[in-house]
Amino acid sequence: MRRIRYHSHGGPEVLTLEEVPAPVPEKGQVLIRAEAIGANFVDTQLRRGMIQTELYRRPLPRPLTGDVVGTVEAVGPDADPDLIGRRVAAASEDAFGDLVLVDEPGLVRVPDGLDIGTAGALPMMAPVALGALRAGRPARGETVLVHSAAGAIGHLAVQLAKVLGAGTVIATASTAAKLDFARAQGADAGVDYTDEDWPQQVRAASSGGVDVVLDAVGGDIMRRSLDVLAPYGRLVTYGAASGELGAVPVADLFALRSVTGFSLLAAYAADPERARKDQAELTSYATRGLLRAAVHARLPLTETPEVHRLLESRAQLGRVLVVP
Ligand SMILES: NC(=O)c1ccc[n+]([C@@H]2O[C@H](COP(=O)([O-])OP(=O)(O)OC[C@H]3O[C@@H](n4cnc5c(N)ncnc54)[C@H](OP(=O)(O)O)[C@@H]3O)[C@@H](O)[C@H]2O)c1
């Protein structure tokens, strides 16, 4: 089978296609023949060696993370043999290959007829969007601001904010086309956060300030987001796509603002039952047509470097899929 690895940190060209024997599932594992793999932006930063936090540190050579959708081809000892032939989705730290090994408990059974983009969002992207939103404790009717709202997680967060009962949802992104896309996901207003006065534009759209901000851009965008919060407003930080984590001046919190962090890995480590509950909730939204993941492009596995170039160009509206 073919798979992708990088043996050194660097640009997209370090991504290497390798031919290796098919893996054999061990105890509790399942082998999936990949139909499509959803790419993750964070891998572009990991590939460049930009992220050195303990949570993400792994040795080289390193595979790419992603969400695989496909059919179970084989199961290991103790895994359910009835899964063979079943269409499933799962997140994996070694997702870019013709065949992908995953642990059975992490599997999502894809409902019949669900489109491939939405199926691929169920293991990780949609749970991150849901978890980040819930970390902001949005009450019905409150105003929610979603940064980088045209991205893979961002556009799902816009949809889920509405599902959870948000009042006004404000989207930010870097181009007019992305803002149109975010409005099509249900956002009530769009603000280009490359404009210097974007906080004023957000305040104008929010009448009285924002109750919950979801931010995975970091840096200046995260820091200036504090200024758009209403009294008792909450900023949820769950990533740093800009490459800068940013700092929160404690004095800025005195105006009744709070900042909280969210990581899916940490959330599921703290409460292993939560993954199952998230899946049930999100699958229900998906089958009822309340949650739909947009697919920006589908590229072959051989063009994985091109996938990373695309993600780094910030062009994607929704998710980029690799099709083996
Ligand atoms: N906490 C968790 O558990 C968790 C799990 C998975 C991912 N994440 C994080 O969630 C974020 C979104 O991930 P995703 O896969 O859905 O990516 P994505 O949103 O599809 O892509 C990243 C977006 O970030 C924006 N961006 C802002 N500054 C940028 C810069 N300097 N360079 C490149 N992009 C920039 C771009 O949108 P604009 O062009 O509109 O600015 C870009 O499209 C990432 O920060 C990722 O690390 C967190």
CATH, residue 188: 3.40.50.720
Helix (H) or strand (E) holding 274: helix 273-287
Q: Is 276 within a domain? A: no
Cβ(138) to ligand 1 under 6 A?
no
Q: Is residue 159 in a domain?
A: yes
Q: Which atom of ligand 1 lies at the shortest distance from residue 264's CA?
A: 3
Dist. CA 239 → ligand 1 center (Å)? 7
For ligand 1, mutation pick of 242, 314, 317, 320 (most atoms within 8 Å of CB): 314
- For ligand 1, atom 17, the nearest C-alpha belongs to 41
Per-residue pLDDT, averaged over 144-166, amounts to: 98
pLDDT at 54 over 80: no
217 CA from centroid of ligand 1 (Å): 6
- pLDDT above 90 covers a percentage of the chain that reads 94
Residues 321, 195: Cα–Cα separation, whole Å:
30
| Residue 28, pLDDT score | 94
Which amino acid is residue 42, in one-letter code?
V
Determine contact, residues 15/305, Cβ cutoff 8 Å.
yes
Structural domain range at position 198? 126-266
pLDDT, position 53: 77
Quick one: pLDDT at residue 73?
A: 97
Mutate to test the pocket of ligand 1, among 46, 92, 148 (most ligand atoms within 8 A of CB): 148
pLDDT single digits (tens) 203-237: 999 988 999 999 999 999 999 999 999 999 999 99
| pLDDT, tens digit (0-9, with 9 covering 90-100), for 262-315 | 999 999 999 999 999 999 999 999 999 999 999 999 999 999 999 999 999 999
User: Does some domain include residue 286?
Assistant: no
CA-CA distance, 295 to 172, in Å (whole number)?
A: 19
Phi-psi region of 278 (alpha: psi -120 to 50; beta: other; left: phi over 0): alpha
Q: Do 196 and 250 fall into the same domain? A: yes
Q: Tell me the C-alpha distance between 1 and 223, whole Å.
A: 46
CATH number of the domain enclosing 30: 3.90.180.10
Residue 100 placed within a domain: yes
Span from the CA of 182 to the centroid of ligand 1 (angstroms): 15
Specify whether the CB–CB gap between 262 and 132 falls below 8 A: yes
Same-domain pairing of 196 and 137? yes
Q: Tell me if 322 sits within 8 A of 96, measured CB to CB.
A: yes
Q: Is 119 helix (H, G, I), strand (E, B) or coil?
A: helix
Strand partners, 321: 38, 298
Pocket lining: 263 vs ligand 1, CB cutoff 6 Å? yes
Residues 92 and 210 grouped into a single domain: no
Decide whether any atom of ligand 1 lies within 6 Å of the 79 Cβ: no
What local confidence, expressed as pLDDT, does residue 207 receive?
84
pTM: 0.97
* In contact, 233 and 210? CB cutoff 8 Å: yes
Find tokens 């059919």 and name the residue.
71
Residues written for the chain: 324
Q: How many domains in the chain?
A: 2
